[in-house]
Amino acid sequence: MENKSDKSDKKDYIVHLNKARKKRNKNDFERYIILAAIAVVVIVILLFAGKAIAKRVSAGAEKTTAATETESQAEDPGQLKIAAKEAEESEAEAQAKKTEEEKKVVVDSYKNLGIVQVSGYLNVRKEPNTSADIVGKLMGDSACEILDSTQEGWYKISSGGIEGYIDSQYVLTGDEAKTKAYELVALRAIVQVDNLNIRKEANTTSDVVGQGLINERYEVVDQVDGWVQIPSGYMSADYVKLEYALNEARKLDLKAMIFNMYKNIGISDVDNYLNVREEPSEEGKVIAKMPSKAAGNILETTDNGWYKIQSGKITGYVKSDYILTGQAAKDEALKVAELMAIVNTDMLNARSEPSTESKIWTQISNNEKYPVLKQIDGWVEIELEEDSNAYVASDYVDVRYALPEAIKFSPLEEKANAAASLRTQIVNYALQFLGNPYVWGGTSLTKGADCSGFTLSVFGHFGISLPHYSGSQANMGKAVKSSEMRPGDLVFYANSKGTINHVGIYIGNGQIVNAASRRSGIKISTWNYRTPVRIRNILGD
């Protein structure tokens, strides 16, 4: 028989046993959950690992295939060359097709196309007659839009922003014009500003060799680091638009364009000539003379009242007291600028009529400037001297407004013997009257003289008598070859009929001093600025 104590112990044991069973069951459940979670993780890892292995296998296969193909190609270099050539040909064909399409767009943009066929340029006039003002020029092979063809012998045209009239006999039209136009369309630089410097080299410090006006078109030769090369030089790419186009009309050069030739313009403020010296001193050697109202580019200012100036091909020093600057220089420049024909070939034939059939009656030298009297299609009428006009082909002159510039000059040194000293005295005396006026029939060295009146008065000062007619003076003294002439000899020129009508005094250094015309007065010229017909030694030594 159990006592209370035994019962109590038994009960405690049962309770403890049940607790242990529950705890064990709980731990088993948690273990099952952990095992299940581990199983899920393992399955996921296996799935990703399988995909990675498959990807690597696939990549390896592709690599093997690519390598096989590369090896195959490497084994056949001829195929590579053929493929490259085919690609180049395809690209070239595409570019050619694109270019042809662009050309067609250009040609089709003209409703009534005209193509100018001249050597040189064709004048665009304000009215349909040869005496009307010239408002522009169309270079050979340029294009225009024909607006009206009802005026006999004339077309009213529009080209390059200019409207006017041109001689119709020099213009291709219709299908002939279109066929020609396709040959002429080219990549061109179209000026986008009022005026743009054309420079000798592709940099802003290079010499300015010309200017392009707004809307003018220039064929592109090359493109170099922000510059566009055209046949005559370089333009800044910032101020042009590049596109396929035909050439069109250009405006007549304006007086104001002369300022583009000078960064810091100075104008000689003297009545005759201003000495240009080698050094900034009154003792400096005279190397040139600036005529009255001549222009130069002021390079620097010295502390002792001199400007270093570049004028034409001369660089030297002039007294600042005799140079206009700033607005005063610009105002004076506009007053005196003249439309000039500047010779751009070694020797240019001058004719009595505007035709190649006309007789050549003299030749004129490179870089000489002559006042323009008239522009006729393909020809320019120029003034050689007073009452001596000639015609030159427009191909060989640059017609633009220009200012006088310095003339190279070295004064004669005194010689030991009397004859040489007399020649020196005659030359230096004659040069005192540079810039004085020309007056037909005059003999005054200060108030005015014509060519023979000038030589008459200069030699008369030294007691040497000459008749007042160049033809008569040409028969005095003795003949001299050009290789033997000396300062003080007289150089004679003839008109278109071969009659002597002009004379100058040789001053040495390949130059003469002469009373040229009402425009020029007494001036220095190159001795062969046109062909001399006679040289005479009047002094008898």
Residue-by-residue pLDDT tens, the chain, 541 positions: 444 444 444 445 444 445 545 544 444 555 555 555 555 554 545 555 455 544 554 545 444 444 444 444 445 677 777 777 777 777 777 777 888 898 999 999 999 999 999 988 898 999 999 888 788 889 999 999 999 999 999 999 999 989 999 999 999 999 999 999 999 999 999 999 877 888 989 998 887 777 788 889 999 999 999 999 999 899 999 999 999 999 999 876 556 667 767 889 999 999 888 999 999 999 999 999 998 999 999 999 999 999 999 998 899 999 999 999 998 998 888 888 888 898 988 889 999 899 999 988 888 888 888 889 888 878 999 998 887 889 999 889 988 888 989 988 866 654 445 555 899 899 989 988 988 999 999 999 999 999 999 999 999 999 999 999 999 999 999 999 999 999 999 999 998 888 999 999 999 888 999 999 988 899 988 898 888 999 999 998 8
Query: What does the pLDDT read at residue 282?
Result: 93
Instruction: Give helix 418-430 / helix 451-460 axis angle, nearest 10°.
Output: 130
Cα separation, 80 vs 84, in Å, equals 6
Query: What does the pLDDT read at residue 206?
Result: 84
Contacts of 520 (CB under 8 A, 6+ apart): 438
Query: What does the pLDDT read at residue 70?
Result: 45
Fold of 411-537: endopeptidase fold (from Nostoc punctiforme) (3.90.1720)
Cα separation, 251 vs 535, in Å, equals 44
Q: Hey, is 205 helix, strand or coil?
A: coil
Query: What does the pLDDT read at residue 236?
Result: 95
For residue 437, give the DSSP letter.
Answer: P
255-336: CATH number:
2.30.30.40
Single-letter amino acid code for the residue at 250: R
Query: What does the pLDDT read at residue 57?
Result: 43
CB 189 within 8 A of CB 228: yes
Q: What would the two tokens of residue 227 be?
A: 């510059």
Fold of 338-402: SH3 type barrels. (2.30.30)
Query: What does the pLDDT read at residue 50?
Result: 53
Cα separation, 39 vs 302, in Å, equals 100
- Residue carrying structure tokens 């030298």: 365
Cα separation, 105 vs 112, in Å, equals 14
Query: What does the pLDDT read at residue 419?
Result: 55
Tell me whether domains 338-402 and 411-537 share a fold: no
Q: What would the two tokens of residue 434 be?
A: 């540079």
Question: Where do the domains of the chain lie?
Answer: 113-252, 255-336, 338-402, 411-537
113-252: CATH number:
2.30.30.40
- Residue carrying structure tokens 């390896």: 60
Instruction: Please give the full DSSP string across 44-63, using - where no structure is assigned.
Output: HHHHHHHHHHHHHHHHHHHH
Query: What does the pLDDT read at residue 413?
Result: 56
Query: What does the pLDDT read at residue 515?
Result: 95
Cα separation, 458 vs 448, in Å, equals 13
CB 202 within 8 A of CB 230: no
CB 298 within 8 A of CB 309: yes
Cα separation, 55 vs 309, in Å, equals 82
Cα separation, 112 vs 38, in Å, equals 90
- Edge-first strand listing for the sheet containing 273-277: 323-324, 265-268, 295-301, 306-311, 314-319, 273-277, 286-291, 407-408
Please tell me the pTM assigned to this model: 0.53
